[in-house]
Amino acid sequence: MTEEAKTSEPRTAPAVSVVGPGDGETIVLGTTRMRVLEDGSHTGHRLAIAESVLAPHTQGPPQHRHREHDEGFYVLSGTVRFTVGEEEYDAAAGTLVMVPPGAPHTFANPTDQPAVMLSTFTPDLYVQYFRDLQEVLAAGRPLTPQTNADAMSRYATEPATDRA
């Protein structure tokens, strides 16, 4: 008989996380509203998930690259324009865009309609970047390119100024 079989203590299953339609942490960055559905605290920091609503004609972040995490975008409604290096892709609802570490990228909503997308961060470290930006805005400071680059640098990310 194994040691595990000899113990009389019941096994506990990992806790299941359920986030309802009105739940989750809300982060507002200009014309983008993000709802953090999983910040990594229930996944051992392996995965974070957020829903983002981009208002019409919303410019996204400066083109950037991540050194330590993959980022996924699933377009739920509307159209999101992804720029990867010099190439642009208009992603309609139902499109999945996966960005591996090192790939320069950004996104925007150039249309007259809102766009909604589900984003994944594997591992979760980039969620804190959005929280940091919200703190800058809450303190009444502007989001300058330098402020953005400083925040990115804390999460293994840098502006892709060379777009290579």
8: DSSP letter: -
149 CB contacts (<8 Å, ≥6 apart)? Answer: 62, 158, 159
Q: CB–CB of 145/118 below 8 Å? A: no
Quick one: three-class SS letters along 34-81? EEEEECCCCCCCCCEEEEEEECCCEECCCCEEECCCEEEEEEEECEEE
- Looking at residue 90, its pLDDT comes to 97
**Hey, CA dihedral for 112, 116, 121, 122, is it positive or negative?**
negative
4: DSSP letter: H
- Looking at residue 125, its pLDDT comes to 85
Sort residue 3 into left (φ over 0), alpha (ψ -120 to 50) or beta: alpha
Q: For every one of its 164 residues, what pLDDT tens digit does the chain have, with 9 covering 90 and above?
A: 455 555 566 666 678 899 999 899 999 998 999 999 999 999 999 999 999 999 999 998 889 999 999 999 999 999 999 999 999 999 999 999 999 999 999 999 999 999 999 999 999 989 999 999 999 999 999 988 899 999 999 999 999 976 54
Q: CB–CB of 49/118 below 8 Å? A: yes
Rg value, the chain, Cα: 18
- Looking at residue 15, its pLDDT comes to 80
141-147: long-range pairs with CB below 8 Å, 24+? 143/29, 143/30, 145/62
pTM of the complete model: 0.85
How far is the CA of 20 from the CAs of 16, 17, 25, 37, in angstroms?
13, 10, 11, 9
